[in-house]
Amino acid sequence: MTVKIRLMPLLVRIGFLCILGAASATAATADWLLEVTQVERRVEGNSDDECVSSIKIHLGKDRARIDRLARSQVVRLDLGELYVIDHREKTYSRLPIPPRFEDYIEPEARGQLESAAVSSALLKKETALITRTGEKKEIGAWTAERVDVVVHDEHGRTEEEVTLWMARDLAADLTAYKETVRYYSYASDYGMAQWIDEILALEGFSVMEEWIRFKQLGPIQTTRRLESLSEADVDAEIYEPPDEYERVPYYSVQFVGLDEMRTRVQK
């Protein structure tokens, strides 16, 4: 049996309205719009290796949407749902929140996941050491404080080094944004799900961040910077999957086809 792979990268790794009441589903509402620039590159590479992309975050009181490339994550706190949307494939998955890994493993695959080798390969343990440095600087229109994060695996090896510049003076309510990151992490990245709550407990928003991931082919650096924060009138329907999109089961990147699992373990 082969499980269909749905690769849905997180905003934070890799990395987000008011209650409408009886209003029309297409009524315009005032939201906050955050625009973020992301740059990814290999640490040993040159500027030609850079991948630059834009991230848009719409957020309000009880819902948020994060757009990057051809994918979106939407959280509806009012409905208790998370939508993972693929605009290229014109599909979406609907997950309850908080999602649990075991809810998205095919029944036929559960027996195989009991294998210690497979479980070790997929369900690794991670911890995060978080240090508030006290260092402050101006980034754009905000005063930010530096927070260092080092992520280790179960053997104490460093997997990621992260520098966050946290600003507390943003006008926007970040509740729905943080819940989008939290629930999508729970559903898609077992390692990160073990420490994401500690990051989200930090007060404020990371107006700039740098992630260095130590991979077999060399470290990869991801830098994100908040470029602007503004109020925007949007249609409430952006917080729903498009009517013409097909609903499909959600398969996390954690749960790849069993043949691929075995190949990885054998290597």
- Give domain status of residue 17, yes or no: no
pLDDT tens-place string over residues 158-197: 989 999 999 998 888 888 999 888 888 877 777 788 899 9
pLDDT tens-place string over residues 31-73: 999 999 999 988 776 556 789 999 999 998 899 999 999 999 9
Domain boundaries, position 96? 28-266
- Give domain status of residue 213, yes or no: yes
- Give domain status of residue 13, yes or no: no
What is the rounded average pLDDT of the residues 219-234?
92
Contact 55, 65 (CB under 8 A): no
Contact 257, 10 (CB under 8 A): no
DSSP H stretches of helix in the chain: 107-113, 116-122, 175-188, 190-193, 196-200, 258-266
Residue 96 predicted with pLDDT over 70: yes
- Give domain status of residue 12, yes or no: no
Tokens representing residue 157 in the block:
């090896």
- Give domain status of residue 199, yes or no: yes
Separation of alpha carbons 82 and 11, rounded Å = 15
pLDDT of residue 7: 30
Q: Could you give the count of Cα atoms lying within 13 Å of 154 in the half-sphere of its Cβ? A: 8
pLDDT of residue 102: 57
Nearest of 161, 137, 173, 175 to residue 222 by alpha carbon = 161
Instruction: Say which CATH number the domain at 201 has.
Output: 2.50.20.10
Prior bond to 242 cis, omega within 30? no
pLDDT tens-place string over residues 86-95: 999 999 998 8
Tokens representing residue 55 in the block:
């991230």
Separation of alpha carbons 147 and 169, rounded Å = 16
pLDDT averaged over the chain?
A: 77
Contact 29, 78 (CB under 8 A): no
Residue 104 predicted with pLDDT over 60: no
pLDDT tens-place string over residues 108-138: 555 555 554 445 445 568 899 999 999 999 9
Helix (H, G, I), strand (E, B) or coil at 5: coil
Number of domains in the chain: 1
Separation of alpha carbons 60 and 20, rounded Å = 11
Residue 249 predicted with pLDDT over 50: yes
Helix (H, G, I), strand (E, B) or coil at 251: coil
Band the pLDDT of 100: cuts 50, 70, 90: low
- Give domain status of residue 80, yes or no: yes
Positive or negative CA dihedral for 216, 127, 71, 142?
A: negative
